[in-house]
Chain A
């Protein structure tokens, strides 16, 4: 029966191809959507993740960085530095704004950092320097490639022309492009004191007990909200999931419905075309179970092939997307495997229509012709 099912399937290669391609495209859609959102989640927390700061201070009531606004009063950085167990602390200004590249506004996260500060700046440079003067900026090299910018070119942020002096790496993602500028210049453009900060990054002295340092920081700076690095990352990841999960679910449902339709229709077509053969088998005494095996094997073979090709296509598309610097995309084996149970259910559902036709088939019809 397995052989028969395979022969049935492969005899009409075009139709089989359409069915398999449909499943593959549906799988591609699911994996790409998930991959893009996973990539977005990761890129959203890259900045916090890559800074060597165990603690972050922010405005009370604020617990995020992504799409958030925080402003701490001037003078707190020096106060933090006085707390025993703090090796270094740096304040950064942060705002979401558009970087104007020619006619195109690119939504970005702008970080104002003081030249020479050990925390808050770019952690990996692809080119140039990060020693930022008042009219200078460091942008991501992927952004530079995308808009054909190089060191020495100009960009505009909130009406201020800035010269690119460095290209950073790992600072470009889906809606989270990071740009570094001079903190004093940024403070002036925001109308705040150069000593103010959106966030204060704290690096403890090696060997310091982090729990007791957290207690000392909370006591010394009651006018700020203290978060550990892990808490801060978790908070932004939670935000990403809450804001993106609805979209992912809808896109997945759409892709699943498409997969269901494609497998269902292609298996139904194959079954219809082979109705006479099913009738002969039935007349020869084949049990319903054997006939159902043929239908299900065809359905699962189409789905399995489509699934495999879909995974291959997804990895190729992800590589292409990364090469073109469109966005960060992460396709994890766990995510790929998690689609299998849903796809199996869909395949069974898709085969049911054909099953009904086969079960109702009257073997006598075969002998009439």
Chain B
């Protein structure tokens, strides 16, 4: 009985329904977007490792590819690991400046012959072929007003843009690709490289091979790309997590407060209708059920609208500023949804005492 009544009660005044549902939806959207922004930040941070076609990576550390190890390890690594393909590359963080754009980038030098370690998705153009060419992230090129064929200065050298890559932006900056020889010259590497990529035969024991390499070559760490990605996330987390989580907590508390306040307002707003029901014989338990039912309807509608808004705004944000990828995980929706539901129901039950105290006779005076 109370369900159709609750629904009719709600849709009777659509303006108020829209207002309360919007309140819940906006608060929920803000929470989902903030958590999504944090998750997206971590996901985009490891894009390069996630696309590196390697079973094992040999570098100076197991947290980043940037570093310096001897370039002469090629044959030794192949011999120890039995790799079907061994390649090396250079990676370093540098600052890209062009016009009004000034941003940190990860400069990657790869072998144009094999393409291993180079861009994995091109929006336009091609990979580099010579030492005076560069592939920029498509968004970075757009921000810098650069197109294919344009010249760009990097670390004092002029390079021609020959390709624009996709999925190569992260919240800290962009990936930019040049030929390995060009990177050696730009970064003044002499007899060193940053990392080796090993492709092992099918069924190879990667853990045993990693141990063998570390035992036989001093000063190197051997890891899978997934492990480096996990360590990179941990590294950034050690700096950002406490601060970011504090901000998230404040935001979530505010968001839940907004939802609670919206639910409370909506119930108070209908005090007169509850009075009528009381006059018609509804007891406190029945009123409480009605209030909770109405609140659940509102919360469900707000939740649905909030999810839709989160996806739309998240997608929009990612399109406008691609290095801010907003990643909305199902568990984020579940967690924020449950928190929102609990808070809205509690907030809706707060004025129950007040509704229970309404004198039914007053209702008939009007």
**Chain A residues engaging chain B, CB cutoff 8 angstroms:** 15, 18-19, 21-22, 25-26, 28-29, 32-33, 36, 59-64, 66-69, 71, 73, 96-98, 100, 104-107, 158-160, 174-175, 177, 189-192, 225, 238-239, 242-243, 246-247, 250-251, 254-255, 257-258, 261-262, 265-266, 268-269, 272-273, 317, 321, 326-327, 353, 368-369
Contact = CB atoms under 8 A, between A and B. Distances in A.
A100 B231 CA distance: 11
B187 interface: yes
Contacts of A68: 93-95, 104
A327 B37 CA distance: 21
A311 B308 CA distance: 34
Instruction: State the main secondary structure of chain A at its contact with B.
Output: helix
A59 B92 CA distance: 15
B250 to A, nearest CB: 5
Nearest to A40: B243
B61 A272 contact: no
Interface residues of B, number: 75
11 contacts: A18-B260, A19-B261, A62-B95, A64-B102, A96-B66, A159-B220, A191-B68, A254-B251, A258-B27, A258-B254, A258-B255
Contacts of A29: 247, 250-251, 254
B189 interface: yes
Contacts of B246: 32, 317, 321, 326
B234 interface: yes
Contacts of A107: 235-236, 238-239
Nearest to B34: A254
A258 B235 contact: no
B238 A105 contact: yes
Contacts of A104: 234, 238
Contacts of A106: 235, 238-239
Nearest to B242: A326
A323 to B, nearest CB: 13
A340 B111 CA distance: 56
Contacts of A18: 257, 260-261, 264
Contact of A269 (B30, B69, B157, B265): B265
A268 B269 CA distance: 10
A269 B261 contact: yes
Contact of A26 (B102, B156, B247, B254): B254
Interface in B255-302: 255, 257-258, 260-262, 264-265, 268-269
Contacts of B250: 25, 28-29, 32
A135 to B, nearest CB: 14
A241 to B, nearest CB: 9
B188 A159 contact: no
A97 B61 contact: yes
Nearest to B106: A67
A138 to B, nearest CB: 19
A191 B190 contact: yes
A368 B240 CA distance: 61
B243 A258 contact: no
B201 interface: no
Contacts of B254: 22, 25-26, 29, 258, 262
Contacts of B95: 62-64, 67-68, 239
B238 A258 contact: no
Contact of A158 (B60, B156, B190): B60
A268 B37 CA distance: 31
Contacts of B261: 18-19, 22, 262, 265-266, 269
Contact of B63 (A26, A105, A175): A105
A59 B243 contact: no
Contacts of A21: 257
B26 interface: yes
B360 interface: no
* Top-4 shortest CB links A-B: A61-B156, A191-B192, A60-B156, A67-B104
Contact of A243 (B66, B93, B104, B258): B104
A181 to B, nearest CB: 14
Nearest to A177: B239
B23 A61 contact: no
